[in-house]
Every structure is written in C-alpha cells, then in structure tokens.
Amino acid sequence: MDKAKPVSTPFPSHFKLSSKQSPTCEKEKENMVMVPYSSAVGSLMYAMICTRPDITHAIGVVSRFLSKPGREHWNAVKWILRYLRGTSKMSLCFGGGKPELISYTDADMAGDLDSRKSTSGYLIIFSGGAVSWQSKLQKCVALSTTEAEFIAATEAYKEMLG
C-alpha cells in the first residue's frame, strides 16, 4: 500500500457491497483467510472514533462483513486506506469563535442490499470542530426517504440533548 495511488473520496458509489460477495467455495475462503481484513477494519475504526469522522460511513459498511469478507469487501477496505493516505494532513480543528452547536444529518433509502434497511448518519459540530458523529444501519425498514431522514434527524437530536 506504500505506492498506492491516493483517492479523493472515502467510499465511492461504485462499491455495492452485500453478503452475496462473500466467499462461496473453499479456495476463495482459503485465500481470504490470508487477508488481514478484521485487523485492518479494527485499525480503521480506531482512526474513525478518534479523529476521522469523514470515514464513518465507509467503516460502517465494511464492518458488516467482518465474519465473512470477500474480495470486493477487501477492495473497499484498501480504497479507504488509499483515501487516508491522500488525506493524512486533515485534522479536527476548533475555532475560538462563538460557541455554537450545529448538527448535520443524512440517510439513504434502503441502501443495505441484504436487509433493505437505510443507513443514518450525523455530524455534530461545536465551535467549528466535530464533537460527535455516527453512521449506522437503522433498526427498522423505512417506508420512504422522508421516514429514513426523520429517523436520522431524531438520532442526532437525541445525541445533542443527551
């Protein structure tokens, strides 16, 4: 990965990961045993929790396949590593301005190909710096984009009030 070409986005739209991409034959399973998938995802989670809210969604997606990762799942992890390599100078910054609490939320509609559940995400900023962030699969299947977005906003506001 030392000579890997950096990329500008943590998780591009061409990655459509599902459990159907997990190994099915013994040869594929043996090949994937040699890949440090769990270790890499764990290390990425550490970076995400401590300093990199920008990779939260990507890590949430690849962590769904920890028990049975396939080659496409591994390619997605390598993509995230390439993104981090190209953005290693990014950091969390807190300004000295007006103490203001701001929240951004987003959700997709039935984005998980296996369960058809939506993914919610939020970012909470205080004084110009990110203080809380999350991206996770919703607990229920949303029946509309509006419902998925409302669930995401509710989670963010609960975090802000909590």
Does residue 60 lie within any of the structural domains? yes
In a domain, 4, yes or no: no
Cα 63 from chain centroid?
8
How many structural domains is the chain composed of? 2
Domain that holds residue 152: 101-161
| pLDDT at position 153 | 98
Please say which residue of 86, 119, 135 terminates a domain: 86
* 140 inside domain: yes
Position 9 in a domain: no
Instruction: State the DSSP code for 96.
Output: S
Q: Are residues 106 and 156 in the same domain?
A: yes
Q: Is 13 within the bounds of a domain?
A: no
Mean pLDDT by 10 residues, the chain (162 residues): 91 95 96 97 97 97 98 98 96 84 97 97 94 97 98 98 92
Does 105 lie in the same domain as 82? no
**Residue 21 has what DSSP assignment?**
G
* Residue 1 covered by a domain: no
38 Cβ contact partners less than 8 Å away, ≥ 6 residues apart: 66, 69
| pLDDT of amino acid 143 | 98
Cα distance between residue 144 and residue 152, in whole Å:
13
Beta pairing class for 129-137 and 119-126: antiparallel
Q: Which of 41, 60, 80 is nearest to 122 (CA)?
A: 60
Helix pair 26-33, 71-86: axis angle to 10 deg: 30
Q: What is the pLDDT of residue 49?
A: 96
Q: Residue 47: what pLDDT?
A: 97
User: Which positions ≥6 away from 58 have C-beta within 8 Å?
Assistant: 10, 11, 76, 79, 80, 83
